[in-house]
Amino acid sequence: MKKLQLTAAALACMCLFASCGDKSEQCADTMVENSYAMGDTAANEDRSDAYYDSAEEEYRKDYSLDAEAADYTQADVKAINTQMLVYSCDMSIDVLEFDDSVDKLHDLINKYKGFIESENYSDGGNTSQWKYNDEQKWKTLSTLIRIPSASYDDFCKDVENVGDIRKKNASVQNLSTEYSDLKTTLKIYEAKEKRYIDLLAEMKSESEAISVEKELTNIQVEIARIKTRMNNIENDVAYSYIDLTVNEVREYTAEPVIEKTDTFGQRLKNTVSKTWHGFLEFLEGLLFLIIRLLPYLLLLGIVLYLLNLIRKAIRKKRAARDAAWYQAHMNAQSGIPDAAANAAAVAAEAAQSDGEAESTESKNE
């Protein structure tokens, strides 16, 4: 390979001599440069060949294809980095004395120098305006507690002694890989930021400076984001999470079983007594219902009375009109003089007027 490269270099030099003509000095310089380049390339390739040969030799020594090399033992497992572990626990406890238990919980938080991140309390009543007795309430407290990781186990054990534990789900999240990647990425961005700052100081053109400033701003924003995430990881590692729910409960007491020792007559008497008392309660409820409906019943009676008076007045007026018409018809058939007919008509009108007056008086009454 080396001979071929030297031959190619010689041919290139001859071509340069033939084409240069009057520019002999320049061509000579070019020839020297090319020869140096070719020489360097050849030397580099020689070094590369030697490197690969030695690497192959080492590979053969370390990983021979003999049958004995097939019996291969795995290396020791790398220990987990415990510096970036986030502990969390979901707990629920039942307590008989709710207020005292909550006070004990706050004392434990202060003892282990933790803090409450969020808290939700309910006294067990709904959203209505009624006042409930203590027997009707079931108090609950849901809180997210942050405790220093060094005191995480001790705090969880002390919380279990506050009441009866109902559930406990603990987990550990390893953020070592993410934190290490963030540190590496941060170094890359910080080096890039420094390079852009130096480049910006040497810029003469305003347009190029604006472009560099824009890229520098994006880099700085990314650096701020990475640092924020790293700070969050450090805080989560420093303070563990305990999601705790405290439920108020009451001690269960079984009702005593009463054996039947009474006779048939006593049971019959008790049944009759209960039936009579039930009937009296029904009558009492009916009476109260009537009292509640009495104003509406009175109003309904007044309306019905007025409608009845109006109906009677209309019927009386209609009867008087029919009587006058019938009298006039009979007079016309019997040939009564017009004066008599007029008198009958006047009488009918008078009767009609009297009927209307009586109707008005009845309405006023």
- The amino acid present at 96, given as its one-letter code, is L
- Residue recorded with tokens 């203590």: 134
139 found inside a domain: yes
Indicate if 164 and 193 belong to the same structural domain.
no
Indicate if 22 and 100 belong to the same structural domain.
no
The CATH number for 116's domain is: 3.30.70
Give me the number of domains the chain comprises: 4
pLDDT in tens, 302-332: 999 999 999 988 988 888 888 888 777 777 7
Domain range holding 30? 2-60
Give the pLDDT of residue 52. Answer: 36
Kindly list the distances between the CA atom of residue 41 and the CA atoms of 1, 14, 298, 320, in Å, as whole numbers in the listed order: 12, 19, 122, 141
Mean pLDDT of 107-131: 83
262 found inside a domain: no
Q: Across the chain, what does the average pLDDT equal?
A: 75
Indicate if 186 and 218 belong to the same structural domain.
yes
255 found inside a domain: no
pLDDT in tens, 156-166: 999 999 989 99
Mean pLDDT of 336-351: 54
Q: Does position 147 have pLDDT exceeding 60, yes or no?
A: yes
Q: Does position 9 have pLDDT exceeding 50, yes or no?
A: no
- Sheet containing 85-95: give its strands across: 115-122, 140-148, 239-248, 85-95, 164-174
Indicate if 353 and 305 belong to the same structural domain.
yes
358 found inside a domain: yes
Give the pLDDT of residue 326. Answer: 78
Record the pTM: 0.47
